Amino acid sequence: MTRQKKRYWLISNHQAKHRVFDAYYCSLDNFDCSWSDDKLAIKFSLVQNYELFDSSILADTASSIKASRISLDLDTSQRRKRATFVSDTIETVTVTNCDAGFILHNGACVKCPAGYGQSNGVCVPCPIGYYSTEKNIAACTQCSNNFKTLSAGSTQADHCKDPLTLCSVPAAPTNVGLHPPTGALVDSGSMVDVYCAPGYALEEGIADQFSCSGNPISPICYRTCDISTYDADKVKGMYMSYSAFPSNKVMVHDQELDIPCWKGYESQYRLRSDYDVYRCVGNKDAEHTTISITACTKIPPNKLLILGLCLGALIVILVIMVIWCHFRGKAKVARDSREVKCRPIC
């Protein structure tokens, strides 16, 4: 500031500017200051010149300016001083004016990116059947011959395809997720991935993909049967083979679990051979997905004894019958031989 007959002027300098703005992005215009009623008023305009799409570079932040405590050099006729000014009142106004070829969006001047078009002053994705190849503020271009694009936001003209060669992804049943999602257009014969919600899985033997062609139908996800509580120690205490359990401890709908008992043990609910057979039913309520596995029990000694005696008796009977048949056959042969010798000769 220069003092002459009690009049003051503010002399701006390079240091002061750098504390206020970045000279690469913005320029300082319309700088003015005045002194009235013992108060210094400073006015200036900041103009953003680069990266107009970034609305965070220049913002209406009076509180930030006030908190910055900008320092300025003061130059008087007697000496040079540096002072820090803290304003009582700061007023800011942000006005954004966009050049031709830009639209105002969220306080910034932008062009719509490829795959987007301008509609009522807003950038929106090109709908199915339209595309946009570059940044612009024009509307999206419609495919010729009523061709369709596979999805919204297409960026190339060759994304337009004959609808007869496309397939629409079918509706997803409850607890099923599809990728591409329901309603998406894909090339006929393309594979659609199937995802089940937590606690659900596809039926035993059903693949997690299907081909989209004709009138496709998505597979169904069923409740899973959790058998994670049966660890190695617990199964060992139940006298069962732990290797029969699935590694992930989860059974899917219609899956059967065959659990053999240890040698010398038996199951009370034996359905097939020496196995306990458990089946996961996932297409009903949660109660049916709870599998309770019954421990094998030791075969009582009397059963083993009876079984052994019966087997031994059967063997003895078979041996006696073989011997009896053998001697009976020999006796018959001897009788036949004597009858031949005694027959009179005529």
Question: What tens digit of pLDDT does each residue of 160-183 get?
Answer: 999 999 999 999 999 999 999 998
- pLDDT tens digits, 297-326: 887 766 666 777 788 888 888 888 888 887
Quote the CA–CA distance of 34 and 41 in Å, as a whole number.
5
Give the pLDDT of residue 336.
60
Q: Are 150 and 129 contacting, i.e. CB atoms less than 8 angstroms apart? A: no
pLDDT-derived band at 273, boundaries 50, 70, 90: very low
Task: Read off the pLDDT of each residue in 317-346 and give the average, rounded to a whole number.
Answer: 68
- Its pTM stands at 0.50
Distance CA 309, CA 303 (A): 10
User: Residue 72's closest CA among 64, 61, 62, 80?
Assistant: 80
- With beta carbons less than 8 A apart as the criterion, state whether 114 and 137 touch: no
Helices (H), the chain: 14-20, 62-67, 232-237, 301-342
Question: Are 261 and 299 within 8 A, CB to CB?
Answer: no
Mean pLDDT value of segment 328-336: 66
**E-state strands within 144-189:** 166-168, 176-179, 185-187
- Pairing type for strands 122-125 and 130-131 reads unpaired
Over the stretch 166-225, which tens digit does the pLDDT of each residue have? 999 999 999 999 999 998 889 999 999 999 999 999 998 999 999 999 899 999 999 998
For 290, residues 6+ apart whose C-beta sits below 8 A from its C-beta are: 225
SS3 assignment, position 47: strand
Query: For 90-99, what is each residue's pLDDT tens digit?
Result: 666 666 777 7
The torsion angles phi and psi of 193, rounded to 5 degrees, stand at -80, 145
